[in-house]
Structure 1
Amino acid sequence: MVSEKDALVAAAVFVFVLISHGEGIIGGREAEPHSRPYMASIQVPEGENMKHECGGFVIADQWVMTAVHCLPTGPNGRKVVLGVHSLSEPEETKQTFDILELYNHPNFSESNYDNDIALIKLDRPFNISEAVKAVEYLRADGTNPGTDAKVDTAGWGSLDNLGSRPDKLKEVVVEVVSSTRCRRSDYFGRKFTDNMICAHKVCPDPCDQPYKKEDSCDGDSGGPLLYNGIAVGITSNGGKKCGQIKKPGIYTIISHYTEWIDNTMALQPAATQDQSS
């Protein structure tokens, strides 16, 4: 018969295993403060305070790119904070903005998160500093990273599937998974479209050995996927749990939306997207 003490020890060991093998941006590292000056924290009111909800990134004066699913109820009191490293500490580098306009891609699909790209126009231009700068993004004539290419992403998202969140920005290097693999029925099947890249810490197929799980997770959505310092994707979706072998992180391919981005930032939103742009 198991004693109460033994039961408590077993429970503690179980919790430790869960935490030590947690998934999300783990195995990554804390970013050097303000080494990614384009990062944005989209925050939602929670009582008298603001809470980090999603990521985003600065692409031009007064403009932040993110994912449609990050703002399910529209601006609704949300704010965008730039120049952030620690979410909780009072940093002189921080600049806080209201959302003047939110532009969601008109062809966004809730069923599989296709066309998961949105643009936020801030209520005023930001002040350029060492902690706040725009990042270049890949346009239609650029070349996206191929299979096995090393790409990187960052965010304040969950450290594990228990929902614990970091206070300081984390970053991780992952690898692009082939589109063919991500279209397999045991991965994402038909939900995976030509507008998506999937990436994570790759384990050989078949994967029958322990490996260090590295992935983006809840709260990282809207942040950038970068290849050689250029934003090529937007953190979008993946599995219900982060870090699963057959459910890599999914990222929206930015270069497929050049025309829509240009039209939107010119305040002439396109009614539909030309997939060839």
Structure 2
Amino acid sequence: MASLQVSRDGKLKHECGGFLVADQWVMSAAHCFVSGSTGMKVVLGAHSLSNAEDSKQTFSILQAYSHPDFSISNYNNDIALVKLDRKVVASDSVKTVKFQRDGTSDPDKDKEVNTAGWGSLNNLGSRPDTLQEVVIAVMDRVRCGRSDYYGWRFTDNMLCAARPRTDTCDGDSGGPLLYQDVVVGITSNGGKKCGSSRKPGLYTIISHYTEWIDQIMAQ
């Protein structure tokens, strides 16, 4: 897990999540970089955001690459790759994770998936200091595309997943959605409220971007 942090009032504050996919690359969500990546730091190996932990490694960003077709209107193609200023030092706390590639099947409806982050714990915006993990389930695509759910905003590049009162929230964006220890999705966007039954969490399907990922990471 990566914590993408921005400087506010002289302190680094957690803004988005991400995950390590190669020794100098973190994957995240494009909407985390709408204001650019200047001054942003990437912290790997963290459990607590505030405590000094020997496992932590902090990086500057050489370059953030957002998908060229990212749409702010419905968050379609919400994927980004971040090149760190140096390679990570691999450890028990900092290691790469496998992600789903083209030609492999994504999890079906009702399959359990895991996600994690330092995002808000409720709709009042209270943030945790330590990494939180939840188990949710993939939801029916037809339902998520219904007009009383997301309608046209729900595209073929997204999957939706939630459980009653269990959801990702503000600050979890860019984090991983794992199925059988492989990252299949990137936490993208939900409704204005977290845990709302008709606005489950939306996740970018990574396997749709294999060619773009390979092209960027070859740089």
Q: TM-score, normalised by structure 1?
A: 0.78
Q: C-alpha distance in 1, partners of 2:106/2:79?
A: 17
Q: C-alpha distance in 2, partners of 1:132/1:187?
A: 37
The aligned counterpart of 2:162 is 200
Q: The residue matched to 1:197 in structure 2 has which SS?
A: strand
The aligned counterpart of 1:41 is 3
Amino acid at match of 1:244: S
The aligned counterpart of 2:116 is 154
Computing the radius of gyration from Cα coordinates, the structure with the larger value is: 1
CA contact (8 A) 2:16 2:32 kept: yes
1:164-186, CA deviations, whole angstroms, 9 ceiling, x for partnerless residues?
A: 00000000000000110000000
Q: Which runs of 5+ in 1 are unaligned?
A: 1-38, 202-211, 268-277
Q: C-alpha distance in 1, partners of 2:33/2:79?
A: 11
1:151-202, CA deviations, whole angstroms, 9 ceiling, x for partnerless residues?
A: 010000000000000000000000000110000000000110000000000x
Deviation at residue 122 of structure 1 after TM alignment: 0.1
Amino acid at match of 1:114: N
Q: Which runs of 5+ in 2 are unaligned?
A: none
> What do you get for the CA RMSD once the two structures are aligned?
0.6
Counterpart among 169, 175, 181 of residue 229 in structure 1: 181
Q: C-alpha distance in 2, partners of 1:67/1:105?
A: 9
Asked if residue 264 in structure 1 is aligned to residue 216 in structure 2, the reply is yes
Counterpart among 101, 112, 127 of residue 139 in structure 1: 101
Q: The residue matched to 1:153 in structure 2 has which SS?
A: strand
The aligned counterpart of 2:80 is 118
Q: Following superposition of structure 1 onto structure 2, how do residues 17-166 of structure 1 map, counting pairs within 5 Å?
A: 39-166=1-128
Q: The residue matched to 2:123 in structure 1 has which SS?
A: coil
Deviation at residue 56 of structure 1 after TM alignment: 0.2
The aligned counterpart of 1:244 is 196
Q: The residue matched to 2:191 in structure 1 has which SS?
A: coil
Query: Higher strand fraction: Structure 1 or Structure 2?
Result: 2
Counterpart among 160, 165, 169 of residue 213 in structure 1: 165
CA contact (8 A) 2:33 2:66 kept: no
CA contact (8 A) 2:43 2:59 kept: yes
Q: Percent identity, please.
A: 63
Q: C-alpha distance in 2, partners of 1:266/1:166?
A: 36
Q: C-alpha distance in 1, partners of 2:183/2:100?
A: 6
Q: The residue matched to 2:210 in structure 1 has which SS?
A: helix
1:37-84, CA deviations, whole angstroms, 9 ceiling, x for partnerless residues?
A: xx0000000122100000000001100000011122111200000000
Q: Following superposition of structure 1 onto structure 2, how do residues 180-191 of structure 1 map, counting pairs within 5 Å?
A: 180-191=142-153
Deviation at residue 145 of structure 1 after TM alignment: 0.2
Q: C-alpha distance in 1, partners of 2:159/2:216?
A: 23
Amino acid at match of 1:230: V
